[in-house]
Chains A and B, each alone.
Chain A
Amino acid sequence: MTVLRYLLRNPLSMFGMVLLVGFVVVALFAPLLAVPEPYQISPYDTPRAGFWAQPQPPSDEHPFGTTQGQFDIYYGLVWGTRTAFKIGLGVVLISVFVGVLIGSVSAFYGGLVDEVLMRIVDVFMAVPILIAAMVLTALLGKGLVPMIIALSAFGWMNYARVVRSEILRVKEMDFVHAARAYGTSDRRLILQHILPNTFFPVLVLATMATGSMVLAASALSFLGVGTEEGYADWGQFIAYSRNWIVGQGDNPFAYWYTLFFPGMAIFLFVLSWNLVGDALRDILDPRIAK
């Protein structure tokens, strides 16, 4: 109920919610919205209408136009929504799992274990995620799975830190002492009594990170170490627009559609996650005025 009341009072959060639901719908109904051709091996391979270099403007056949190499922008964006969810949720779920594991072990055992694990966190923090992920994808090859692995490998540290500090806060509370006095096992103590308390901070962090991970993934694609050519992936489609930014001599906006549609898709997707994350934080954080 609080959530509903909050959403009604905050049109911006409401807008984010609606956007996100919209993206979920597009992802779910992708096979209906953009029907794959029967000859396609994978629905994620964007069909192309020829091999000319020059992008073609929106038409009945290609509602958002085509990129260089004639990939259909509409098709790529619709199926790219699924790609975005796969990357965002995939990276965040793996990172949360690793981060929560390391953070809770570190906080619970303390001492040397804590020191060593936190120094490992420091080491991972000392590499910019984009460069590190580029090295990993370059080693592992192109494609979705290498991208998810690369981004998760350098995306878990914040969760570890948050979980650790939350646990350190909760650990000294009376109910934990009581449970321990009661003879609860370590595992049960962590999983049932302490970890649930870290749920909300991690949820807020994860929601906000989903958007930025999709941004990072599209940056990888943009820089050419992301997905295979023609894969339905927003970053890839923006990379296609790069050579056509300047337009034709007398008409600088001749190829506006190559940048506009994929750019809007990424922007709105990330925006929706950020707005929802913001709303979650406001609802869950009692220190922020309502």
Chain B
Amino acid sequence: MSLRALSAEAARFRSPEDMDAMLYYLLRRAVFIPVVLLALTLMIFSLQMMLSPVQRLAAYAPGPEFLKGGSAQIAALIEKYGLDEPFLVQYKEWLGNVLSGNLGWSETARAPVSEALLDLFPATAELVFFAFIPSLLGAIWLGTKAGVHLNKGIDHAIRIFTIIGWSFPVFVFGLMMLLIFYGTLNWFPPGRLSQWAEVVVAGDAFTRYTGVNTLDALLNGNMAVFFDAIRHLIAPVITLTYVNLASMTRVMRTSMLETLRQDYIRTARAKGLPEKVVQNKHGRSNAMLPVVTIAGMELAYMMGGVVITETIFDYHGIGRFAADAASNLDFPGVLGFALYFALVLVVINLVVDLLYPLLDPRVKLA
């Protein structure tokens, strides 16, 4: 049964009290989020205080022209922005800026942080979209197969496949993909688009509706750009899919094994249901629950940037930006990224929590 059909069925059983509980749950969540965000930014901000006031000046500079005046001006600016003030005073200043929508200037991106994040988000989202769906569906399929055929040949094969994927360093796998598909076959080059396609996309005739190349190309009816974008996506998508597929399959297999040992499975078999129905409807549907939680976490971390994959395939996304910002101690960039990631985490956790009672009517939010 598909995920949607399942949630639709579960939704029928929900009573008005459940809706109240859900509302209460949402409110409690909403109150709690700002507290975590505050603590998180305080923590990163305190790391920033390890740098000298001059280094930190960048956080307040709206653009490079701001610092042109030399050391006298820099001293004046440090004074003006209170960079030698006590920690909490400075934090308050930064928070005020953030609340009014100013995340500061990122040296790494050479752009305001908010602009850089908005610009890179579609790239990461595109990559993650294409990798996440096959890994989730593949994991449910493989995990079910392995669980049903415990200790048979197929189970062993799937276990070896997953444990290799789980132990393989992403950067070695990625470099191997490059070696084979770029170095040898020259099928899938690194980057997001070929040079000619970049020119087309930047041109006037091409409208950038979303920033997601494949989608924009379809909307513009430009199939050449579409296929070029796909060609650049294949290698990083395979890399990401394998790694995520491996870890999710493990969870699905374990969960399936536990589910198949439940009494209701024995009952279902005893009353003569076909084995397929027992496995898929009674087994798999219930075994999927822990996978949803893990998949949510994986999705969040992928959206937080697939640092290594993006670096290896020279794919400009959030992860690469965050890694560059981190290694260059570009704190406005890091703080902006941290806020972005916290937001992603909150949204995805919320969706997972709300999905749970739909998938399993026994679970109630409280």
A residues contacting B by CB (< 8 A) are: 12, 119-120, 122-123, 125-128, 130-131, 134-136, 138-139, 211, 215, 218-219, 222-225, 238, 241-242, 245-247, 252-253, 256, 259, 263, 266-267, 270-271, 274-275, 278, 287-289
A131, B308: Cβ atoms under 8 Å? Answer: no
Given contacts A134-B323, A271-B164, A274-B166, contact A219 B308 (CB under 8 A): yes
Residue of A nearest to B308 (CB): A219
A219, B47: Cβ atoms under 8 Å? Answer: no
B40, A131: Cβ atoms under 8 Å? Answer: no
Chain B: interface residue total (CB-CB under 8 A): 52
Chain A residue numbers with a CB within 8 Å of B64 are none
Chain A residue numbers with a CB within 8 Å of B159 are 12
Given contacts A12-B160, A219-B170, A253-B184, contact A138 B329 (CB under 8 A): yes
A119, B39: Cβ atoms under 8 Å? Answer: yes
Chain B residue numbers with a CB within 8 Å of A136 are 47
Given contacts A252-B184, A267-B167, A289-B150, contact A138 B179 (CB under 8 A): no
B residues contacting A by CB (< 8 A) are: 35-36, 39-40, 43-44, 47, 50-51, 150, 156, 159-160, 163-164, 166-172, 175-176, 178-179, 182-184, 254, 257-258, 261, 301, 304-305, 307-308, 311-312, 322-323, 326-329, 334, 337-338, 341-342, 345
Selected contact of A139 from candidates B36, B179, B329, B337, CB within 8 Å: B329
Chain B residue numbers with a CB within 8 Å of A266 are 169, 172
A238, B341: Cβ atoms under 8 Å? Answer: no
The distance in angstroms between the C-alpha atoms of A263 and B176, with both chains bound, is 10
B341, A126: Cβ atoms under 8 Å? Answer: yes
A253, B179: Cβ atoms under 8 Å? Answer: yes
A120, B39: Cβ atoms under 8 Å? Answer: yes
Chain A residue numbers with a CB within 8 Å of B328 are 138
A265 vs chain B, min Cβ distance (A): 10
Given contacts A12-B160, A223-B327, contact A126 B36 (CB under 8 A): yes
Selected contact of A238 from candidates B175, B301, B322, B338, CB within 8 Å: B175
Query: Mostly helix, strand, loop or mixed at chain A's interface?
Result: helix
B160, A238: Cβ atoms under 8 Å? Answer: no
22 sampled A-B residue pairs with Cβ under 8 A:
A12-B156, A12-B163, A123-B39, A126-B36, A126-B342, A127-B338, A130-B308, A131-B304, A131-B307, A131-B334, A134-B326, A135-B329, A135-B334, A218-B169, A219-B171, A225-B326, A245-B182, A247-B183, A267-B168, A267-B172, A274-B163, A275-B163
Query: Mostly helix, strand, loop or mixed at chain B's interface?
Result: helix
A134, B327: Cβ atoms under 8 Å? Answer: yes
Given contacts A238-B171, A274-B166, contact A126 B345 (CB under 8 A): yes
Given contacts A12-B160, A135-B326, A245-B179, contact A127 B40 (CB under 8 A): yes
> Most chain-A CB neighbours within 10 Å: which of B167, B184, B323, B338?
B167
A259, B179: Cβ atoms under 8 Å? Answer: yes
Q: A126-B345, A253-B183 are in contact. List 11 more A-B contacts (CB 8 A).
A: A119-B39, A123-B36, A123-B40, A130-B307, A131-B337, A134-B326, A225-B327, A238-B171, A245-B179, A259-B172, A289-B257
Selected contact of A222 from candidates B168, B171, B301, CB within 8 Å: B171
Given contacts A238-B169, A271-B163, contact A131 B342 (CB under 8 A): no
The distance in angstroms between the C-alpha atoms of A274 and B166, with both chains bound, is 8
The distance in angstroms between the C-alpha atoms of A239 and B312, with both chains bound, is 10
